[in-house]
Amino acid sequence: MSDSVLSIRNHQFFLGDQPFRVLSGAIHYFRVMPDAWPDRLAKLKACGFNTVETYVPWNLHEPKPGQFDYEGIANLFYFIELAQDAGLWVIIRPSPYICSEWEFGGLPAWLLNIPGMRLRCMNEAYLSCVDRYYDDLLPRFKPYLSTSGGPVIAMQIENEYGSYGNDHMYLSYLKKSMEDHGIDVLLLTSDGPTDRMLQGGTLPDVFKTANFGSRAAESFAKLREYEKQGPLMCTEFWNGWFDHWGEEHHTRPAKDVARVLDDMLKAGGSVNFYMFHGGTNFGFYSGANYADAYQPTVTSYDYDSLLDEAGHPTAKYVAVRNILAAYHEKPLPDVPVSEKAVSFGDVHFSEIAWLNQQLPHISKGVSSATPEPMEAFGQNYGFILYETSVLTKKELITLHMPDMHDRALVFINDVFQGTVERRLNQESLDVTLPGGKSTIRILVEHMGRVNYGPRLFDQKGLSGYVRLDYQHLYDWTVYPLPLDHLHQLRFSPYQTSVNDTLRPADTGNQNISGMPCFYRASFYVAAPADTYVDCRQLEKGVVFINGFNLGRYWSIGPQHTLYLPSSLLKKGDNELIIFELHPEPGQAASLINHSILS
């Protein structure tokens, strides 16, 4: 249908025969529960946008090699249909790599266990995996393309590739693959507004766009050096920012965002807000950055965007809507009313299960001469426990883990010795060996694979070797703990003893000092509604609601609550399971009606 095809003539977009300006906002379907997609899309339309943009994370759609998933929160094509129903055009950014503060930048973890693997380049091992993925994914877009009467008007090749490499043969390979699979809408690239990025990440015959958050005139001027004839477009207008654990929550004034938007529009530019609505990194899908040190991203992807994590319009929404209203001949639609969050009160733990006692039920030990990373055992996410025994005299000695990713808890005969954190550039710990035969257990938490920059190849767990002083330790039993089968846990009644030591009711005086545990509780909901799990009385761990992995919490902040969408609750009794890494007497959770990002 030629009247809905996006094309370029000189310095302007045309949709069919009519001049068109792309006014787009990013909503990632994979960060929002499906029942909320219509609401978020309607609010995008009501704000004055005509287009929605989304990435497509490879690791969500091919969780295991050759096994593809497009159901539930992965139902991208239903999201596209809803966008069309809402009167929106769609821009798709289909990977292989998406960055997006998403686990491994959207690349599947299983790539890391393939011999000879080199990422994002003309590497045969890598491209054979991309080919299989594209063979399944790309043909599915055909009926949704604007050339077939659908809403998809443009698709992106790779993502900010100039920030990573300069393999133009690789970019050309992806372009040809997309075209060979029937993608006949406008193709584009997006890169930061610097010479090196625009040189490395673009192709001569592909429309070029830039990503930036400020200095629009300067950024567009640099883009114009490389895109001589096309319209000016910012594919990622960074109107907010993301958060790392242990750092400040990022905010940006609404007036500043509105001012930069106005500058872009006055210059004739098109724009995609990154993000319009951030959503949530549910489960283990938060990524990480690595500058001078490892920086894991929090569960919330609030991003200080136009809609908050629960989909409520912010002051930034109002400011942007006022700007965009001036570019519409007709009044904008009314903004849909947002669902109010509800406080359901305190949740009391009634049962407990200690990790060391649950290993036979939730994992199968694997013998290994050396402590290999979790990818070697076919594990993508979660935790992994390494166990070995040593025969020594009583001594204080240093345990070395030089390639540990990302946070380790060390136990000697099930007594907690301390933590080692990659975030703090730590790689060793002084431990006390009691003498005789001692069992060393190292529980390693995967906290998100690096999603940006030169350290993408980020295997999790322990790699290569562990030493006591100068001596390498061998003969390990490894327990993968992806935590995706919690129904196999065997709980005991929960109680706190008179000496303030947490103990399962049926194990007497067994020493379990500092051992991680699973708490379980039931709570009643008369009518499901959005709420927030308040984790301020907990230390560090993961929350599961009715079997759904809600995400990580950590007392160091800035995030202290986990957003719990109403669709994950049911009328009547609901199950809460918390995997707490540092159990203490008196720990509890509650369900409150607001988020705490501070």
Question: Known catalytic residues?
Answer: 160, 236
As a residue count, the chain comes to: 598
**Of 292, 467, 482, which is closest to residue 377 (Cα–Cα)?**
482
Name the 3-class secondary structure at 48: coil
CB crowding 428-460: b at 16 or more within 10 Å, else e: ebebebeeeebebbbbbbbbbbbbbeeebebbb
Q: Are 37 and 26 in contact (CB under 8 A)?
A: no
Among 535, 593, 533, 589, CA closest to 563: 533
User: What values do phi and psi take at 349, rounded to 5?
Assistant: -70, 130
Give the up-direction half-sphere exposure of residue 227: CA atoms within 13 A in the CB hemisphere: 31
How are the residues of the chain apportioned to helix, strand and coil, as percentages rounded to the nearest 5? 25, 35, 40
d(CA 273, CA 254): 13
Q: Which has the closest alpha carbon to 234: 185, 287, 296, 191?
A: 191
Rounded to whole angstroms, the Cα distance separating 253 from 251 reads 7
Q: Is 412 helix (H, G, I), strand (E, B) or coil?
A: strand
- Beta strands 152-156 and 186-191: pairing type? parallel
| CA 144 from centre of chain | 26
φ/ψ bin of 437: left (φ > 0), alpha (ψ from -120 to 50), beta (otherwise): beta
The burial of 170, by beta-carbon neighbours within 10 Å (0-12 exposed, 13-18 middle, 19 or more buried), is given as: buried
| 407-412 and 517-525 beta bridge pairing | unpaired
d(CA 297, CA 359): 28
State the Cα–Cα distance between residues 208 and 480, nearest whole angstrom: 44
**d(Cα 427, Cα 430) in Å, to the nearest integer?**
11
How many other CB atoms sit within 10 Å of the CB of residue 570? 13
- Alpha carbon distances (Å) from 198 to 163, 194, 268, 510, 585: 9, 6, 21, 62, 55
Sign of the dihedral defined by the CA atoms of residues 270, 273, 274, 280, in that order: negative
Structure tokens at 232: 């000016």
Which residues are CB-contacts of 138 (< 8 A; sequence separation ≥ 6)? 94, 177, 178, 181, 182, 183
